[in-house]
Amino acid sequence: MKIWIALPALALLAACSSEQGSTINTGFSEDNLASSDACFAETPSTLLEPGQTLLETGPAGLTRVSWSLNGETGDVILAVSDLDQTTKTAMDAANADFYRAAGQQHSHTTDAVIYHRSMDGSFCTVVKDQPTGQALVDAITNLPAATQPSE
């Protein structure tokens, strides 16, 4: 008689502990991560896809903006320690606007926005949205310290 009580309990336990496939499509896959070779490269603009803009910041005190927009590419590196307070504030505002727009566009199901963080704490964001990228490029290239793009 005890076997009749134990069998349904074992069947229920087996059914509850078996692996179940997820029906939720999150878009995330460890085998297919959105990535960009441009992040942390020496000359990121040569590795960006058309329409992409990159912003890299990190503990070294450098801000890098690279782009491939409207058939033109470019790279600008700004050393934060070399900037006066007004220029730093303008750069920070441009970066914040870019990050804000990237956050609104980010989705795990697309590669419209790509985020990378390196082991040293540097952070790279690549956005594939022309207006968002152009706004950052315009703001950064109009800063007094950005008149000499890196070669």
pLDDT confidence of residue 109: 78
Domains of the chain, residue spans:
34-146
3-state SS, the chain, equals CHHHHHHHHHHHHHHHHCCCCCCCCCCCCCCCCCCCCCCCCCCHHHCCCCCCEEEEECCCCEEEEEEEECCEEEEEEEEHHHCCHHHHHHHHHHHHHHHHHHHHHCCCCCCCEEEEECCCCCEEEEECCHHHHHHHHHHHHCCHHHCCCCC
Straight-line distance from the first to the last Cα atom of the chain, in angstroms, rounded to the nearest whole number: 84
Confidence (pLDDT) at 36: 75
pLDDT for the residue numbered 123: 94
pLDDT mean values, one per 10 residues, the chain (151 residues) = 62 58 50 69 93 94 96 95 95 96 87 87 94 96 69 47
pLDDT of residue 85: 95
Whole-angstrom CA distances from 86 to 24, 59, 79, 109, 122 are 48, 21, 14, 39, 24
